[in-house]
Structure 1
Amino acid sequence: MRTRPVAHGGTPHTRQTLSRGCAGLSVGLILALLLILGGVAVFAAWILLDVALQPYEGRIYPNVYVSGVDLGGLTAEEAALRLAEVAAQYEGAEFVLRDGERAWPVPWAEMGISLDVEGTVQRALDAGRTDSDWKTVLGILFGRYEVAPLFKVDPEAARAVLERLSPEVSIPPIDATLRLEEGRLIPVPGQRGRVLDVEATLETIVSTVAYLGPDNEVALAFRSVPPRVADARPALAEAEEMLGRSLALSAYDVLTEETFTWTLGREEIAAWLRVGPTEDGGGIRVEADPEAVRATLTELAAEMGEGRGFRLEEAVPSVIEALEAGGGSVPLYVTHPARTYTVQAGDRLTTIAAKFGMPPGLIAEANPGVDLDWLWVGQQLTIPSQDILTPYIPVPGKRIVINLAEQRMRVYENGQLLYEWPVSTGIPSSPTYRGIFQVLDKEENAYASQWDLWMPYFLAIYRVGGDVYNGIHALPILSNGQRLWEGLLGSPASYGCIILGVEEAEILYSWAEVGVLVIIE
């Protein structure tokens, strides 16, 4: 039996497996080679990119722009100078503050908004360097790369703008109040107000400008403000009691001798009432609103005409005080305007003074720089208000009248003649002036340094000029004890004052208080 030789080339299956193994080895080798080649390419590209960027060490990469201005290749210092062109683009720009439909455009300069040069340069330097991939870098090298500018705000300038705007946009709260409708008091609830929140708005402005840019509008922020009194119903009873009071106002005009009277009752007082918290804040009370009282008195003053008015700074408190005390009478002072006089032919200072009953020295004080010894026709002079001669509300029912021609004084009380005495007034070279005056001050024994004499029972009645006053007093006494002008009563003898006998002067001094009218005619 013969044995068949065995082939050593392997089976077909074995040959197929070997073939596949060689093919796999070839693919892996190829992939490895490709990876090596890719790495070499990347490395080469990185080397080339590094070489390309080498000249820009410490400089802005090429093709980097800010608002259209090319900063490529510049150092930080050079770029800062170039950014002046960018800053010029925003001259006249406005930042808009908004509250609903209302808007307030504010110039950047006023708002304190400016280009942040340092921040913008740093942003340009960071382009392609910080958090940038190779695609961004290639885009910068072979294209155009825009960098948004940065802006900053001067907080103090912006705060000043907001503080100026605050009164315009803030709304004060409205306290609850009471309103008279068809004779009945109706409580009106209070309303909340608002005030501009300057600090919150400022914080929004700073962050908006820094992160979004100054082209974005900012809405104003507000804080709600509650009224002091939200409900007026607890004050109804007190208000009703006050409406039952009445005020009788009177005003006497010393120039025209007119007496004006007004009676104010429920309707007028209701317009004044407001509800406010008590001093301890634990409740509410009814009070008169000074501004409402002022408005009423202004209307009443207009009824007098001729530019007359009231001294509101004292009239308003007087009226409120009387109302709080339960009502009653309130005398008011009548004010008069200064006047303008046009010089006529033949006028002299003394004749003009006599025409207006105003001492010449006071006219001179009202016309500084005017040579009153050389008046010319058509010249305009200021005549002071009558109020400087009669500054007090006249004492009712009392009056002193001095007749220069008769050299007599008559004293009246409630329209009846009380005393009549001879007097001595000023000599021609130092006359007593005519006019409507008032007892301004009292001094039991006044000293006149100009003449070195004492004036017993002195009643000052008008200022001649400077600190010199003329008045009514007893026969004066020189420093050596000699009494002047005894036996001359009934004829001019003084330097401008009105002289009485000693007993008569003492009686008048006791009778006349400050504010009594003195008429010299």
Structure 2
Amino acid sequence: MQSLPNTQLSFKKSSSVNINFLAAGVVIVLLALIFWCVFFFVWGYFHVSQRILPGVTAAGVQVGGMTISEAEAAIHEQWNMGHQVLIGSEDQWWRTPSLSLGIYVDSVKIARDAFEMGRGSGALAEWITILLGGQPSGGPEILFNEEMARNTLTQISQLVYAAPQPNEIVYENGQWVAKGGLNGKALDVERAVLILRSDPGRVLSQGQLELTYVPIAVETVNSEILQVLNQIGNRPLTASLYDPFSGDIRDYEIGMDRIGPYLGWDAQTQSMTLNTTGLIAEVTTMLETSQGVKVRMDDDLSAVEEAWKSGRSLEFSVVDLPRPYQVESGDTLLKISQKFRLPYWYILQANPGIQPNSLIVGAEITIPSRNEMLPLPYVRNKRIVISIPEQRMRVYENGEQVHEFIVSTGIATSPTFPGVYQVRTHELSAYASNWDLTMPHFLGIYEAWPGFMNGIHGLPTLSNGRILWGNVLGGPASYGCIILSLENAELLYQWAEDGVVVEIIG
């Protein structure tokens, strides 16, 4: 009877152990159930939302929870744009994204592979790997795009290209000599592409690509060129200065001491050059200083070098500038126009508001340039001179008088204006409607009034056939024109081309 209590105690201990095991089993089952519920919930969520499973790392980039496009962008940014390569040599270096050199990873493929983790036949094992942090080791495959690399290297080659500097041909101490000269260089694009193609991963890991260059040899100057230059490059330039107001022509020799500083050598075209703008500016200043007048060049600037090489004279002419004039006692506008040898209306037009019949003594008016009466290129070797006091015309060619004609100029109430003009127009038979007469072999020389041209012509004929002023030739008779006999008018008409200067002396 005394052993019963011990038996009951043993039974109680056994029951307690069983209950503990049962509770532990329930907890384990519940935890497993929770785990699988969470697993399937997360698995289902990421399948439905099309996102990469959490904790996934691709190419060293945390892409868990991202969509494929987000993961692709993150991988592209870190690998293709985030990796910089130092490229260059010597003292010229540039930093550029590795992608610009054609070094890249396939971010789309890597992102898709990351998306497939935990979704294939080995999904459970991959999940366990992800949970345990056991991501695949090693970097992504480094790829190379040659076209992209060539495009970038071609752009760099344009920056680093150095053209050879040929021997500089200069004019020194009265002769042409060759000086200096340097080789050029060009980027060796093919070698750079070969390095990138053979191991783009090494370039990426080193972060540097050293470029090499191909030398470009300079061409030396042929001694025969210097010989030719010294033959043709030592001739002087002749400047011919024409004064249309006096008829004088003076020639000036421009020596090599003035021309030399404006000579050069074009290595590309292998030809001598002349700074025509600078040279003509100096020659013009020299002529103005020596003559005390304003000067212009009548040749085109493009003709300067040809004139120098061929030995032809360059043509310059004297220019008359506008000037102020102070009205004196007894002056009238007509007297002032005769004094300065300009048509009356031309001075009137240059001074708007002036009262021509009541000039104020001491007032300042503008006398316009006489060059306005000379609008055409000059015919330098011919000149017509008309003397109003003598009623004579003298015709000159190459400085020699070739004709002398009797003329009739304008009457006192309609005078011929003294001045320096040009033959502007040729009309075989001009008609004056004011007087109903024709003027044979008409040479227009100046406007007596705007739109009204005075000229040189033969004896006029009325519409009824009557010839005027034949019996008074040699005295003032016209309304401003210069009258010749019919024979002389025809001769002059054929001889004087447009541009011949006509000087009328009062």
- Taking the TM superposition and a 5 Å limit, the aligned residue runs for 1:82-121 are none
**Alpha-carbon separation, structure 2, partners of 1:232 and 1:463:** 63
Residue 184, structure 1, aligned to residue 175, structure 2:
yes
**2:281 is equivalent to residue 295 of structure 1:** yes
Relative distance call for 1:7 and 1:254 in structure 2 (3 A) is same
Inter-partner Cα distance in structure 1 for 2:288 and 2:303 = 19
Q: Which residue of 2 aligns with 1:323?
A: 308
What is the CA-CA distance between 1:239 and the residue it aligns to? 4.2
Quote how far apart the aligned CAs of 1:231 are.
7.4
Residue 211 of structure 2 corresponds to residue 255 of structure 1: no
Aligned ranges 1:308-319 → 2 under 5 Å: 308-311=294-297, 314-319=299-304
TM-aligned CA distance change 1:3 to 1:385, over 3 Å: closer
What is the CA–CA distance in structure 2 between the aligned matches of 1:477 and 1:364, rounded to whole Å? Answer: 33
**In the alignment, what sits opposite 1:344?**
328
Partner of 1:405 in structure 2? 389
Q: Post-superposition shift, 1:475?
A: 0.7
Q: Is the 8 A contact 2:429 2:441 kept in 1?
A: yes
Gap change, CA 1:174 and 1:404, over 3 Å in 2: farther
CA deviation map 1:80-105 (0-9, x unaligned)? xxxxxxxxxxxxxxxxxxxxxxxxxx
Are the aligned partners of 1:188 and 1:231 in contact in 2 as well (CA < 8 Å)? no
Cα distance in 1, alignment partners of residues 335 and 397 from structure 2? 32
Aligned counterparts of 2:359 and 2:164: Cα–Cα separation in 1: 59
* Distance in 1, Cα, partners of 2:489 & 2:404: 12
Residues 1:390 and 2:381 aligned together? no
Aligned partner of 1:152 in structure 2 is none
The residue identity in structure 1 corresponding to 2:285 is E
Question: Is contact 1:178–1:232 with CA below 8 Å preserved after alignment?
Answer: no
Identical columns (%): 37
User: Cα offset for 1:486?
Assistant: 1.0
Relative to 1, partners in 2 of residues 1:486 and 1:288: Cα closer, same or farther, differing over 3 Å?
A: same
Whether 2:319 is the aligned partner of 1:335: answer: yes
Specify the alignment match of 1:271 in structure 2.
261
How far apart, in 2, do the equivalents of 1:4 and 1:396 lie? 161
Match of 1:499 among 483, 489, 494: 483
Please, which of 227, 231, 236 is the counterpart of residue 246 of structure 1? 236
1:200-222 Cα distance to aligned partner (Å, 9 max, x none) = xxxxxxxxxxxxxxxxxxxxxxx
Give 1:389 shift: 2.1
Root mean square deviation of aligned Cα: 4.1
Cα deviation digits, residues 16-55 of structure 1 (max 9, x gap): x98xx89x99xx9xxx9xxxxxxxxxxxxxxxxxxxxxxx
Question: Matches of 1:491 and 1:422 in 2, distance apart?
Answer: 9
In 2, Cα distance between equivalents of 1:346 and 1:189: 73
Other-structure match for 1:368: 352
Q: CA deviation at 1:392?
A: 4.6
The AA in structure 2 aligned to 1:181 is E
2:164 and 2:453 mapped to 1: Cα distance?
Answer: 52
Q: Distance in 2 between matches of 1:175 and 1:333?
A: 42
Question: How many angstroms does 1:353 deviate by?
Answer: 0.3
- For structure 1, list consecutive stretches of 5 or more residues without a partner in the other structure: 33-172, 192-229
Q: CA deviation at 1:273?
A: 3.6
1:498 Cα deviation after fit: 1.1
**SS of corresponding position for 2:241:** strand
1:322 Cα deviation from its structure 2 partner: 1.4
Paired residue secondary structure (1:328): coil
Corresponding residue number in structure 2 for 1:107: none
CA contact (8 A) 2:384 2:503 kept: yes
Whether the 8 Å CA contact 2:426–2:498 is kept in 1: the answer is yes
Following superposition, the deviation at residue 251 of structure 1 comes to 0.7
TM-aligned CA deviation for residue 285 of structure 1: 3.5
TM-score by length of structure 1 reads 0.53
Task: Report if the CA contact (8 A) 2:171-2:264 is conserved.
Answer: no
Q: Is the 8 A contact 2:240 2:252 kept in 1?
A: yes
Would the alpha carbon gap of residues 248 and 174 (structure 1) be closer, same or farther in structure 2, given more than 3 Å must change? farther
The DSSP-based 3-state class of the residue aligned with 1:378 is: coil
What's the CA shift for 1:291? 2.6
Segments of structure 2 that go 5 or more residues without pairing to the other structure are 32-162, 183-217
Asked if 2 retains the 8 angstrom alpha-carbon contact of 1:311 and 1:334, the reply is no
- Report if aligned partners of 1:319, 1:330 keep a CA contact under 8 Å in 2: yes
Asked if the contact 1:175–1:276 (Cα under 8 Å) also holds between the matched residues in 2, the reply is: no
Q: Residues 87-144 of structure 1, C-alpha deviation per residue, up to 9 Å, x if partnerless?
A: xxxxxxxxxxxxxxxxxxxxxxxxxxxxxxxxxxxxxxxxxxxxxxxxxxxxxxxxxx
Measure how far apart 1:520 and its partner are.
1.9
For the residues of structure 1 that align with 2:432 and 2:290, how far apart are their CA atoms?
A: 41
Read off the aligned partner of 1:316 and give its amino acid letter: L
Tell me the secondary structure at the aligned position of residue 342 of structure 2: coil
Partner of 2:64: none
Amino acid aligned to 1:519: E
| TM-fit CA distance, 1:345 | 1.9
Q: Which amino acid aligns with 1:317?
A: S
Residue 263 of structure 1: how far off its partner (Å): 1.5
Deviation string for 1:465-497 (max 9, x for gaps)? 323222221111122222111110111100111
State the shift of 1:243 in Å.
Answer: 0.8
SS of the residue corresponding to residue 277 of structure 2 reads: helix
Please report the TM-score for the alignment, with normalisation by the length of structure 2.
Answer: 0.55
Cα shift at 1:352: 0.5
Q: CA deviation at 1:427?
A: 0.6
Query: CA shift at 1:250, angstroms?
Result: 1.0
**In structure 1, C-alpha distance between the alignment counterparts of 2:3 and 2:384, rounded to whole Å:** 177
Contact 2:175 2:234 (8 Å CA) reproduced: no
Residue of structure 1 aligned with 2:431, choices 443, 447, 454 = 447
Q: 1:462 aligns with which of 446, 458, 474?
A: 446
- Write the distance in 1 (CA, Å) between the matches of 2:275 and 2:353: 45
Secondary structure of the residue aligned to 2:494 is: helix
Q: Structure 2 CA distance, aligned partners of 1:232 and 1:268?
A: 28
> How many Å apart are 1:303 and its aligned residue?
2.0
Distance 2:354 2:181 in 1: 58
Matched, 1:472 2:462: no
Which residue does the alignment assign to 1:100? none
